[in-house]
Amino acid sequence: MGDRLAALIERFPVTAQVFHAGALCGINALDADGDAGQLHLVRQGPLEVVHGHHRQVVDQPSLLLYPRPLAHRFISDSERGADMACANLRFEGGLSNPISSALPEFICLPLASVAGAEPVLTLLFEEAFESRCGRHALVNRLFEVLMIQILRQLMESGELRSGMLAGLSHPRLRNALIAMHEAPAQDWGLDRLASVAGMSRSVFAAQFRDTLGLTSGQYLQGWRVSLVQQALRRGRQLKMVATEVGFGSEAALSRAFKAHCGVSPREWRRRTGQSGST
């Protein structure tokens, strides 16, 4: 079995930037910040978390993940507060990043439930709460490592019931998804994907649609378009990208891009403020 996260993390990495380490006392409101998500680690509480109509009391060491911008509030004791380390998360591609868009708007997990995370958390808290040279750079990297461990935990626990990460949790569908992620330029017809998954054509098609909410052809098209968007953000020329991601020509790429996004690559680049030439 291939690595379920390798191609995703390599093509669409996440970077973290710590903005708080220490006690949070009383009421603290955090606004949605551009296209950044946030990851909060509660070393010691209790803490009440509020966003929208959702209220939750966290009474054990936990992580609070907001993969996309969402205003929220923390309420803790006005004197003792809650010990926390907090970081902004930036997924490459922003709101169109396939990892962040596949996650629920909010995830709360006990720290003890994240397999293999104890050494990372021990070092992260030790560095975050001390004044050592290079601490911010080190803690940023540890947050990024922890994010990978969270994704691994979510897939291995089977807690996500739909979407891409649920597909990557499936013992057979995952093989087809890995194949598309690693080699998007290949001709991944239904028969070939079903064979990779070790399933019959009809069973594969039904389970893929039921789990991911779209057909394998639609998923492949979306994955290819996301790679094109990434190339545009990096200023690459479409004619250089077309065959790399599975389109036979620049014209075919442009048609597929407009069908998926509603605008041409040139217009998408203009609207998103990207530079470069087609």
Query: Residue 225's domain is classified under what CATH number?
Result: 1.10.10.60
Pick the last residue of a domain from 157, 186, 203: 157
10 Å Cβ neighbour count for 219?
21
Q: Specify the pLDDT at position 30.
A: 93
Residue 278 counted as domain residue: no
Residue 1 counted as domain residue: no
> Which is more confident, 173 or 233?
173
Q: Specify the pLDDT at position 277.
A: 46
pLDDT in tens, 199-241: 999 999 999 999 999 999 999 999 999 999 989 988 888 888 8
Least Cα distance to 203 among 185, 213, 214, 190 occurs for 190
Query: Is the pLDDT assigned to residue 71 strictly greater than 50?
Result: yes
Assess contact for 205 and 246: CB atoms under 8 A. Answer: no
Number of domain units in the chain: 2
Q: Which domain holds residue 182?
A: 170-271
Residue 276 counted as domain residue: no
pLDDT in tens, 188-198: 999 999 999 99
Residue 33 counted as domain residue: yes
Query: Is the pLDDT assigned to residue 275 strictly greater than 70?
Result: no
Pick the last residue of a domain from 97, 127, 157: 157
- Average pLDDT value for the chain: 92
Residue 57 counted as domain residue: yes
Q: Specify the pLDDT at position 153.
A: 93
Percent of the chain with pLDDT over 90: 74
> Please, which pLDDT band fits residue 1 given cuts at 50, 70 and 90?
low
